Amino acid sequence: MTIKAVLFDFGDTLINTEKFDYDACLRKVHQNLARNGIAVPYNDFKRIYFDVRDRFYEKTAETLEEQDFADRVTETLKPLGIELPKSDKRVQEAVEVFLDAFINSLRIEAYLPQLLEQLSKKYKLAVVSNMSFAKAVFRSLKKFDIAKYFDAIIISGNVGWRKPSSKIFLKALDALNVKPSQAVFVGDSPKADIEGAKTLGIKTVLVTQKEKKTPSTDTFQLYIDKGTQSGNPDKAIMELAQLLEALNCLSKQS
């Protein structure tokens, strides 16, 4: 095949989210709400937050429609007797606190900028991310100074559809002006990334990252891969350092 474009998943493909501490993050959000006069017991807040999150995930898994992250905050406060519109300043501030804690926890491999630089000379590059909070992706890419390597950054929070929906993949291919047969998708989720891309005939590379951690550490996105081990990618690699080799292999195939 002739590869013209390489599309990347964001969380745990380009960016490592392992250091994210959900409890510490929620405590910060909780403290911020308290400072703004919204005082609720932390344990209740935390329990309801995860209930709300899981309910949203279930719905999203069915419909593949994206949801606004601010809704998580308003829905968490509701059973605690506090009704706020998501446009409320205190809600928006809580969302920002969450976002900051998330971004501060992210890490990249030291070799990533150089790898992207190399790839960008040969291929069109895109990020295709399931993230209800689009800002989180833009800000993270900027933080690591790697946004400049991408010709398109497509995020479910902006598009309204999540992987494995074909709609979000098609947006990316459109933005890069390439056909599915000219693109390779690189991701760590067998269902969202690999199966999603394969449905359109995009070649796939699964990043297995040694031992896959449990989905509970995932943050805004979390797509639970039920029942699939690998999604049958065209190539599987342990980490992105092996990507050039994998792409060379794919380009030799018909």
Minimum distance, C-beta of residue 159 to Mg ion, in the bound complex (Å): 16
Q: SS3 of 22, please?
A: helix
Given the complex with Mg ion, which of 75 and 218 has the nearer CB atom?
A: 218
Minimum distance, C-beta of residue 164 to Mg ion, in the bound complex (Å): 12
The token pair that represents 184 in the structure block: 């390779």
Residues 176-195 touching Mg ion, rule: CB under 5 A, are: 188-189
Minimum distance, C-beta of residue 243 to Mg ion, in the bound complex (Å): 15
Minimum distance, C-beta of residue 14 to Mg ion, in the bound complex (Å): 9
Candidates 9-17, 81-89, 148-156, 235-243 — which segment interacts with Mg ion by CB under 5 A?
9-17
Residue 91 sits at φ, ψ, to 5 deg, of -70, -45
Q: Pick from 254, 238, 250: which is nearest to 6 by CA?
A: 250
| Helix and strand counts by DSSP (H, E) for the chain | 10, 6
Minimum distance, C-beta of residue 106 to Mg ion, in the bound complex (Å): 12
Residue 9 in the binding site for Mg ion (CB under 5 A): yes
What is the C-alpha to C-alpha distance for residues 46 and 49, in angstroms, rounded to an integer?
5
Kindly tell me which residue out of 5, 7, 8, 11 binds Mg ion, with binding defined by CB under 5 A: 11
Residues 185-244 touching Mg ion, rule: CB under 5 A, are: 188-189
What is the full DSSP assignment across 31-95? HHHHHTT----HHHHHHHHHHHHHHHHHHHHHH-B---HHHHHHHHHGGGT----TTSHHHHHHH
Given the complex with Mg ion, which of 12 and 225 has the nearer CB atom?
A: 12
Residues at the contact surface with Mg ion, assessed by CB under 5 A? 9, 11-12, 188-189
